[in-house]
Structure 1
Amino acid sequence: MSPVSHGTSESRGEDRRLLRFEPHLPHAYETIWPALTTPDGLRGWLAEADVLERHLGGAVTLRGADGGPELSGQVTAWDVERVVEYTLTGLGRIRFHLEPVGTDSTVIRFSHEYTPNQPGLGLDRPGSAGGRAADADHLAGWHRRFELLESALEGHPAAPPARADQRLAALRASYTPPAAAA
């Protein structure tokens, strides 16, 4: 599995955060699109899609495979084989923008705009503090999800591991800001 580059976070005002990732995957966009936009594809790396109406304005309900909350909303962007965006109550807005690189590689320009302390889809564990401290959990969760996506695209879909997963713990540590010097 090739490494997923670390994501970034930024403030979008007092009560909003924006996370970004740009994983570069060795798969054609035609292979990646179904993993982002179909119930079977999402199940292999992100969540159960109890409802997924695949069009702009369509209803969507995702449920974390490891006991995460059920999150409902709608498809707020849809450009076939290029852009999909889900806006979910309790999670915020998640957007996947596919950019082909040649014929067998794709960059996913991913963003997640959210309000700190909202639930995630099971791997992240939002902290009680806002800003970068809360971001560490969300960044680690998304980083792990993109590793699971890569694994699913390689033919090894799996239910996301439990929160005690050692890899997730290591990712959380890598995203946790250092303690301020006294």
Structure 2
Amino acid sequence: MERGTLIEHEGRPAVRFERHYRHSAQRVWAAITQPDELAHWFPSAVRMSAEVGGAIEFTEDPNVAPGTGTILAYQPPHRLAYSWGDDELHFDLVEDGAGGCVLTMVHVLAARDTAARTAAGWTICLAELDKQLAGENPAGPHSADAQPWRPVYDEYVAAGMPSGAPIPGMTD
């Protein structure tokens, strides 16, 4: 499983992921923007106004209270960015010249100590996205069929990813 890396994004800590798909940017764009597709891999139900400055709503995540954000970039089918509370998510899709594309996702963090927690969560979610794009119709990152989160988190911590932020729904 491909892991995320800690980077700096405009002076803020961020976790970066890159995935290569045998699908067009248009197909992957649908998976990252359409509510019926997001339901299979994203940690929350999402509703968005598809325009820069539009609102985005996040609900139904069992570990996080409902929240809102603002669309920061909307350039179908290549660039999407939005705020999520004090964090930001950036998705970039680039055609690979062979009929597929490369997805780069950057989660800009409000706090450095959330890096391991966030990276583990997205590792699970992106594995579910991989299944969705492979036609497997996954039940989502919170389902019993998804990879367990805790071992992935422990691997990130062991590798030195900043940690220590509270983990919703868990006590240590």
Same fold (TM over 0.5): yes
Figure out how many residues of one structure are paired with residues of the other and give that number. 157
TM superposition shift of 1:60: 0.4
TM superposition shift of 1:103: 4.2
Query: 4+ residue stretches of structure 1 with deviation over 6 A?
Result: none
Which residue is 1:139 aligned to?
119
Contact 2:94 2:101 in 1 (8 A): yes
Change over 3 Å in CA distance of 1:167–1:112 after alignment to 2:
same
Identify unmatched segments of 5+ residues in structure 2.
161-172
Alpha-carbon distance in 2 for matches of 1:25, 1:43: 19
1:15-26 superposed matches below 5 A: 16-26=12-22
Which residue is 1:174 aligned to?
155
Pairing partner for 1:31 from 12, 22, 27: 27
Alpha-carbon distance in 2 for matches of 1:61, 1:100: 29
Contact 1:9 1:17 in 2 (8 A): yes
SS in 2 for 1:104: coil
Contact 1:38 1:52 in 2 (8 A): no
1:55 aligns with 2:51: yes
Contact 2:78 2:94 in 1 (8 A): yes
**TM-score of the superposed pair, with normalisation by structure 1:** 0.75
1:43 aligns with 2:39: yes
Q: Percent identity?
A: 24
Alpha-carbon distance in 2 for matches of 1:159, 1:8: 23
1:104 aligns with 2:109: no
Contact 2:124 2:147 in 1 (8 A): no
Which residue is 2:167 aligned to?
none
TM superposition shift of 1:140: 0.8
**TM-score of the superposed pair, with normalisation by structure 2:** 0.79
Which residue is 1:158 aligned to?
139
TM superposition shift of 1:12: 6.1
Q: Which amino acid aligns with 1:23?
A: R
Change over 3 Å in CA distance of 1:55–1:103 after alignment to 2:
farther
Contact 2:57 2:66 in 1 (8 A): yes
Alpha-carbon distance in 2 for matches of 1:178, 1:150: 24
